[in-house]
Amino acid sequence: MAKQKLVMIGNGMAGVRTIEHLLKLAPDKYEITIFGSEPHPNYNRIMLSSVLAGGADMQDIIINGWDWYQEHGIQLLSGHTVTGIDTVNRQVISDRGAAATYDILIFATGSNPFMLPLPGADKEGVIAFRDIRDCEIMLQTSKQYKKAAVIGGGLLGLEAARGLLHLGMEVSVIHIGDYLMDRQLDRAAAGMLQEELEKQGMTFLLKKNTEAILGRKRVKELRFTDGTSLDADLVVMAVGIKPNVALAQSSGLAVNRGIVVDDYMQSSIPGIYALGECAEHRGIAYGLVAPLYEQGDVLAKRLAEVETIGYAGSVTSTKLKVSGVDVFSAGHFGDPEGSRSLRYQDELDGIYKKIVMKDNKLIGAVLFGDTSDGSRLFSIMKSGESIQGREKELLLGFAPGGSTVSAEQRLAELPEEEIICGCNGVSKGTIKDAVLNQGCTSAASVKACTKASASCGGCKPLVEGLVKLYAGDEAGTPVKEGICGCTTLNRDEIVAEITKMGLKSTKEVMNVLGWDHPEGCAKCRPSLNYYLGMLYPESYKDEKESRFTNERYHGNIQKDGTYSVVPRIYGGVTSPAELKKIAEVAERFDVPMVKITGGQRIDLLGVKKEDLPRMWEELDMPSGYAYGKALRTVKTCVGSTFCRFGTQDSIGMGVRLEKEFERLSTPAKVKLAVSGCPRNCAEATIKDFGVVAIDGGWELHVGGNGGVHVRATELLCVVKTEDEVVEWASAFLQYYREQAEWNERTSIWIGRVGLDHVKEALKDKEVRTALGERLKTAISTQKDPWKEILSEPELRKNFIRLTEAEPIQG
């Protein structure tokens, strides 16, 4: 029987969660195509605040990597925005010309941030806080500017503000209301929250209404309606969202605030469904993740033809994801008419609790400082059970005059369908099954098995409590976590086992060492590929499918789906002939932008994927590895060749180092620099390996980083000759290659093991010589990637086909 064609517009959390559930219920029923406007796989949007706050990186928030789509036969058209729908012929068309016919169409288009229509709102530096691109702008802005203003004192605004504070910016929060989070908290809890956040460094301007955003090209100042003003280099608007319904409206679907749907998420046109933030059910458009997952479960069952009672709406709860602050809110907490409330406030310990009741039922709750009872209260609220006679017990955790109810007992009383991990929709029953039937006796193993606590981590205490409840004496201290969720083995254990057992491929490693997931994941596959190549440089065949996307294409993918081509320019030194060749190639291929990089190279931006092979052939230059975990650049100043302050030939030294180490594969990207005198114009003291010329010799510096987490180098040693510079650089880089974790920059590695450890390891010349020989062997096995592709007709012929479906995003 032929599969039906299912097309989904939107690659976000709600839509992909629906597809996940559908694949479990009816894996062979549909041929699935997904259009996603962003150039990323499915990621956890609610974790963006954790990325800003330093608790996670971009890779950590990926829910389903590129390999997941491939494994399930899903065609993902990332970077494609759907611009038209022919509902008669059932066809979807994107802005890049892609078309897909459908039997079933799902709108999962989410929402757009609401941007206040203020004068100056279109200036540079005025953004929302909605996606990865917004995160990237904040990260970049924090390196150059210091003053940030967040308009909106709600949940999202405070999370954005805390992230900017972590990035070292001065943060002011502007809120039109009398107190913070006025949609989730009452005045008392909001006051305690403000006091705590002020201690962390935030400044608050309450009852302020922004009138205009001032500045020429970039924002410089906010002006308020009361005549006051505030200096700002960055303005983040976090004042709400609006369902993304323009496409649905133009396609003839019934739309109010959102796309109108029934209890089975069916729109006004048969065969077209909608869910998530773009949908409106019984007059409500939800913006929290738990209701969207509930909608997805109903729709998946409907499409799989599994009996379901339909979606009846959701009671919602919220948690604030800000370091050092625990806030929980649910239901109607603002003392609605006919209700009664109980409050408990302890200003010494910073605890506030409030429950709201009506007709002997719990209808609302606010918790600050101690949110451990949040899940239990929320469960009672949703059940609608009578709490008559138990009101004070629910507020305090024990009945006055009676014994205290233990946390374990409260967990035991939760129904099994209660959602413990809202980020990933994991219920108490799922965690119970993982502990009792799948041998998960720690929070770490439950996370690997179910994804519970794998996102924001707010539910980790509950997960640990359930493990203790069901595992009993077998629940020991949490087991150590491995390099990823597929294994409990760390880097050193894996390398030792590979060496001991002579394992020769990633699949063999995963099979022999008992990986939980036989195909591995986006974290372990690249690391295993690197460790095997490092251990067996002459015999190991690099597994292209275990490389990150940029390394597969040998170019940096840009947000519009094009690529950047960066040829190697040794030490930043070029010639008129080379410049002329680069310019001619750029003209022939209509390169939109040619940019001088910070590493003294030339970046050709906006190159089409299909043009990459011919472009490299015409350039006939080595790749600069701007995309790789490899030697990137060796930055130089002019040194004694031209500069009157120069004490040594920094250009010659830089060119020699770059030619020595080009194509070298490393655990993370590596940057070098050579300065011709202590004035350090090449910024050698923020590089992985920096060389600074002094009278009669060279200082060798290691472990620097000029990125998000700036780290100055530490002095490794002082040498006299250029040969000694190469000797020590070779030994240091090879020791780093052999000892560091995968994806661990030298700055992190040096900070972890200590400079004294590295000095001790490299002090003997015999050891340095042996390390240098191993490094030469590793480099000798590597070919320039484009010369390899261009020299092999079959590889060149199949380049596009071989890289169409990318398993790993990097």
Annotated binding site for [4Fe-4S] cluster: 637, 643, 677, 681
- What span, in angstroms and rounded, lies between the C-alpha atoms of 412 and 418? 11
Q: In sequence order, what E strands does 288-326 have?
A: 317-319
For the chain, the first-to-last Cα distance in angstroms comes to: 38
Annotated binding site: 637, 643, 677, 681
Which residues are part of a known binding site for siroheme?
681
Cβ(644)–Cβ(635) below 8 Å: no
Task: List Cα–Cα distances, 189 to 345, 398, 503, in angstroms.
Answer: 9, 22, 58
404-426 CB burial, b ≥16 within 10 A, e <16: ebebeebbeebeeebbbbbbbbb
User: Angle 155-166/132-144 helices, nearest 10 degrees?
Assistant: 40
Both tokens of 718, joined, read 């002082």
CA–CA separation, 474 and 468 (whole Å): 8
Contact between 651 and 682 (Cβ < 8 Å): no
Cα of 605 vs its chain's centroid, Å: 24
Please report, for residues 335, 344, 395, the alpha-carbon distance to residue 359 in angstroms, rounded to integers and kept in the order given: 13, 21, 17
Nearest to 29 by CA among 58, 87, 84, 72: 72
CA distance 30 to 619: 45
> Which 8-state DSSP code applies to residue 330?
E
- Residue whose entry in the numeric block shows the structure tokens 């900070």: 751
Give CA separation, 8 vs 35, 79, 83, 289, 602, in Å: 6, 14, 13, 18, 40
8 Å CB contact between 664 and 647: no
DSSP string, 31-93: EEEEEESSSS-EE-GGGHHHHHTTS--GGGGEEE-HHHHHHTT-EEEET--EEEEETTTTEEE
CA distance 458 to 635: 44
Helix (H) or strand (E) segment spanning residue 272? strand 272-274
All residues at 6 or more sequence positions from 40 whose CB lies less than 8 Å from its CB, including other chains:
11, 62, 78, 132, 809
